[in-house]
Amino acid sequence: MTLKEQIRQQFQEAQSILEQFQTEENFAKIAEAVEIMVNAIKAGNKIISCGNGGSMSDAMHFAEELSGRFRNDRKAIAALSISDPTHISCVGNDYGYDYIFSRYVEAIGKSGDVLLGISTSGNSKNVINAVEAAKKTGMTVIILSGKDGGKLASMADLDIRAPYSTYADRAQEIHIKIIHNLILGIEREIAN
């Protein structure tokens, strides 16, 4: 296979996964997630996001587009990602990497807040621990997952799952489309 053929194949695979995801059920789940987040924001609460690796980058992107700006000028929205390297290294050193997100949720999460957890496998132990901490606090939990949803699917109030794929990058491509639609929907509803 030539490099050009490999590139073509990657785009075709991505297109196939995107087409598989486009169902009324998935569109309804995204709309439900927007509604949950907007209701939390309007009630004076916040959204906390977390994930590992590329999913952390997605969690950061989600939060900064809300606290900053996506497409339109509007009031800043209370959203933050668990991505402070000093917090992560402190908790990782003192308690272990599995607790880097849950300690943060314990510290600043409150009833009425929303946790957006991102895990392509659905089995990231530190996201699982964050969900457990969020549930104890009275937060609503939305998960972006992949594969079979893993342990997180059954723990979430709402699981939005990318179609099964062998590698995480296909799930991440779906997750970023979901994230952009969440942000766009939140902006639309907050503006109204």
CA atoms of 56 and 52, how far apart (whole Å): 5
Burial zone of 70 (CB within 10 Å; 0-12 exposed, 13-18 middle, 19+ buried): middle
CA atoms of 179 and 32, how far apart (whole Å): 13
The answer to whether residue 5 scores a pLDDT higher than 80 is yes
Count CB-CB contacts under 10 A for residue 145: 26
pLDDT in tens, 77-119: 999 999 999 999 999 999 999 999 999 999 999 999 999 999 9
For the segment 124-132, the average pLDDT, to the nearest whole number, is 98
For the segment 14-18, the average pLDDT, to the nearest whole number, is 95
DSSP SS3 for 113: coil
Q: Indicate the average pLDDT of the chain.
A: 96
pLDDT in tens, 37-60: 999 999 999 999 999 999 999 999
Q: Which residues contact 17 (CB under 8 A, 6 or more apart)?
A: 162, 163, 165, 170, 173, 174
